[in-house]
């Protein structure tokens, strides 16, 4: 859904909510077509704290600098969704602060150098053993947590350190892993202002 900053009541958000931005290019193609469950979200970040003018400070990891702050209004007119973890407000508020432990690391390009060859190898294995294309399951990737973040690691690790697992420990924090957790009910989408009382599980891969 196209996010129009001026039309959203920003008081709807709580510290520790997070967002997912729709991607383009090869990364979006991969998470939509090569990994299960499919998703179209590729960039994630925290809504950290409100500003006096109604805007929100975001906490997110971007290349090449790594963890940094931004403003929600910068995402005006982009395809972005907002989410809330199903946990206590205390844990939600703590999660962005816990993610600050990652502030000394630059963007984790090595994450992709690990994931991409491994994913291609799994696809090739499927082609050889099953003689058909098969999406790579999000749990098939090997992962060791660190404090050098890509965007998904900021959100996942922040919640891990606060005491709530958005994804299971040891599971690579891929956009597809977050999609699976959303389907399991660990977090839900904060929906458009016209339907504030409704909850949604997000993107429909058949839509």
CA triple 64-100-85, angle to 5 deg: 105
Whether residue 26 is contained in a domain is answered as yes
Domain, as residue range, for 137: 2-194
pTM of the entire structure? Answer: 0.86
CB neighbour class for 150 (10 Å; exposed up to 12, middle 13-18, buried from 19): buried
Instruction: Give me the residue label for tokens 């907002």.
Output: 82
pLDDT tens digit string along 92-139?
Answer: 999 999 999 888 777 777 787 788 888 989 999 999 999 899 999 999
Confidence of residue 202 (pLDDT cuts 50, 70, 90): very low
Whether residue 204 is contained in a domain is answered as no
The pair of structure tokens assigned to 133 is 């294309």
Whether residue 205 is contained in a domain is answered as no
Whether residue 203 is contained in a domain is answered as no
Q: What is the CATH number of the domain that holds 16?
A: 3.90.1720.10
What is the domain count for the chain?
1
Whether residue 201 is contained in a domain is answered as no
pLDDT tens digit string along 79-91?
Answer: 999 999 999 999 9
Whether residue 93 is contained in a domain is answered as yes
Whether residue 22 is contained in a domain is answered as yes
Q: What is the pLDDT of residue 105?
A: 75
Question: With the C-alpha atoms ordered 58, 84, 171, 160, is the resulting torsion angle positive or negative?
Answer: positive
Please enumerate in sequence order all residues whose Cβ is within 8 A of that of 117, keeping only pairs 6 or more positions apart, or say none.
Answer: none
């Amino acid at each position: 859904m196209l996010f129009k900053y001026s039309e959203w009541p920003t008081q709807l958000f709580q510290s520790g909510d997070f967002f997912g931005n729709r991607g383009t290019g090869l990364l979006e193609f991969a998470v939509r077509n090569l990994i299960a469950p499919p998703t179209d979200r590729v960039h994630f970040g925290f809504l950290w704290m409100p500003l006096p003018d109604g805007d929100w400070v975001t906490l997110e990891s971007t290349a090449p600098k790594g963890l940094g702050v931004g403003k929600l209004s910068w995402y005006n007119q982009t395809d972005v969704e907002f989410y809330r973890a199903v946990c206590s407000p205390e844990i939600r508020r703590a999660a962005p602060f816990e993610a600050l432990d990652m502030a000394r690391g630059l963007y984790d390009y090595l994450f992709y150098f690990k994931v991409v060859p491994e994913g291609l190898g799994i696809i090739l294995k499927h082609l050889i053993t099953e003689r058909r294309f098969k999406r790579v399951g999000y749990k098939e990737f090997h992962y060791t947590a660190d404090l050098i973040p890509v965007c998904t690691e900021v959100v996942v690790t922040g919640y891990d350190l606060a005491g709530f697992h958005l994804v299971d420990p040891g599971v690579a924090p891929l956009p597809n892993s977050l999609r699976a957790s959303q389907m399991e009910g660990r977090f839900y989408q904060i929906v458009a202002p016209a339907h504030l009382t409704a909850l949604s599980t997000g993107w429909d891969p058949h839509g």
